[in-house]
Structure 1
């Protein structure tokens, strides 16, 4: 089986399951190594497929069955508001996951007819939002934060505090907070057990820590 065929089969297999499946079981099913399955899962994530890893009974890797949504018919009025608000969030640097939002807005535009798209452009010219732009953050950091948050995985980050002291921390993101000119993540330190806020613009580096789901409980 070619890799492209295996990736498609893997996605369909995961979508059709009601429970998660371990990397070892996937490797056995597709007759490849566990390392290859991890690479395939990373490729599916890079393709914006919402993969998650869960522990306990029925745990393992699972794909959100709603990743392929039915067609949605937007009116030009609805699309104008969605696109305008999304564009404002991107321009104000409020969200850490702007690339995903931008991709979603493109799909909203593409769902409209030609005449509706022309009306959308007219309506957008009449909508203006003003605010204080959020502090800039690194694109790679935003991408890691987005992936960790959606996939419920911890991250290892290099953080610079208000005294310019740099530390490395392993944390699990609990929530994302957007406040006028800065975005913060509410996270729990995996080693200290403490919960605190970290400013997105002060994170110098971040990477997702892949945690393999544990075996099912009896």
Structure 2
């Protein structure tokens, strides 16, 4: 019996779920214990998850769930799978993309031959319209990079292995880079971006990080027990953003804008600004407080809101906006005067 035949025989013997001692394997295949140890190491090197336990009652067995029964899909189930895969691939970046490709190949190999062509021509049958650019919140747009993919893959591996991860997080508004030690809990996809949710070891808070802003992620090797009460579902619907805004209000400068009740109703429907603080003012208007004084964020917002919106703070942006509006007033005023004269 050659090593390949013996390795296959060992693999079959370990599928029963019970521990099989090395001495039993050696006797079964009429080889030495050292040869069995080498065969086991060879299986592990090939990616076969062999669990080993030492001691008098120890032995080897395959990790639970490694070998799955054959997949039997109907035509309609195959079509549903096509649509699901097309939807996933439309996100541009997905966790463990390489593993998704290999899983797809394995799945294809298990299907009847008459369905192979259907799966291979998925792009011809199912189309997903890409998410259009968010012009108003242009800062949310990001192009896929290797750093982004590495962050997603590493964070997902940390979740599956129950190990902490370390990474650097880039803050573009502050132009800073901060290191984080995190217990990874879950990932979510929102508006064409991936977000990583986990407990920050330093603050003991569950935080959400944009994956495209994560750099140099590595698994630390420190195990942790996943929080039983955590569910990524509790962060959906903008809940994570609302929590983050409350934290940013303690860390960032605040911009204040007086707006009409109608404008407040319009902003309350926005995915981002609806999580800001809305406070009734004395004159019937509403004061909205935003934890940011970025020029590129605040000035476009006031322009978009239009008449009725008054930027109160910061003073530097209020002055800049006043000069801009004065210039527009002169431009349109002179044009209107010219039209009146020609009439």
TM-score range, shorter chain: 0.5 to 0.7
With normalisation by structure 2, the TM-score equals 0.43
Contact 2:71 2:111 in 1 (8 A): no
With normalisation by structure 1, the TM-score equals 0.64
Worse overlay, 79-88 or 152-161: 79-88
Match of 1:85 in 2: 84
Aligned CA distance change for structure 1 residues 155 and 63 (closer, same or farther; 3 Å) = farther
User: Is 2:172 the partner of 1:165?
Assistant: no
| Map 1:20-35 → 2, pairs under 5 A | none
Contact 2:170 2:213 in 1 (8 A): yes
Aligned positions, number: 174
Q: Deviations over 1:85-120 (max 9, x none)?
A: 224313423522222222222222111222221244
| Map 1:127-138 → 2, pairs under 5 A | 127-132=126-131, 135-137=143-145, 138=147
**Displaced runs of 4+ in structure 1, greater than 3 A?**
43-51, 119-124
| Map 1:37-186 → 2, pairs under 5 A | 47=47, 64-121=63-120, 124-132=123-131, 135-137=143-145, 138=147, 139-162=149-172, 163-186=174-197
Deviation at 1:84, TM superposition (A): 3.8
- Bigger CA radius of gyration: 2
Cα distance in 1, alignment partners of residues 193 and 48 from structure 2:
26
Match of 1:200 in 2: 211
Cα distance in 1, alignment partners of residues 79 and 165 from structure 2:
36
Contact 2:82 2:126 in 1 (8 A): no
Superposed CA RMSD: 3.7
What's the secondary structure of 1:186's corresponding residue? strand
State the structure with bigger RCO (CA 8 A, min sep 6), 1 or 2: 1
* Larger helix proportion of the pair: 2
Gaps of 5+ in 2: 20-32, 35-40, 52-60, 133-141, 226-343
What's the secondary structure of 2:104's corresponding residue? helix
Contact 2:82 2:122 in 1 (8 A): no
Cα distance in 2, alignment partners of residues 188 and 213 from structure 1:
11
Contact 1:74 1:111 in 2 (8 A): no
What's the secondary structure of 2:107's corresponding residue? helix
Deviation at 1:49, TM superposition (A): 5.2
What's the secondary structure of 2:222's corresponding residue? coil
Deviation at 1:63, TM superposition (A): 7.5
Deviation at 1:160, TM superposition (A): 0.5
Cα distance in 2, alignment partners of residues 189 and 113 from structure 1:
47
Q: Deviations over 1:153-189 (max 9, x none)?
A: 1101111123231011110112111112111011111
Aligned CA distance change for structure 1 residues 124 and 213 (closer, same or farther; 3 Å) = closer
Cα distance in 1, alignment partners of residues 92 and 124 from structure 2:
21
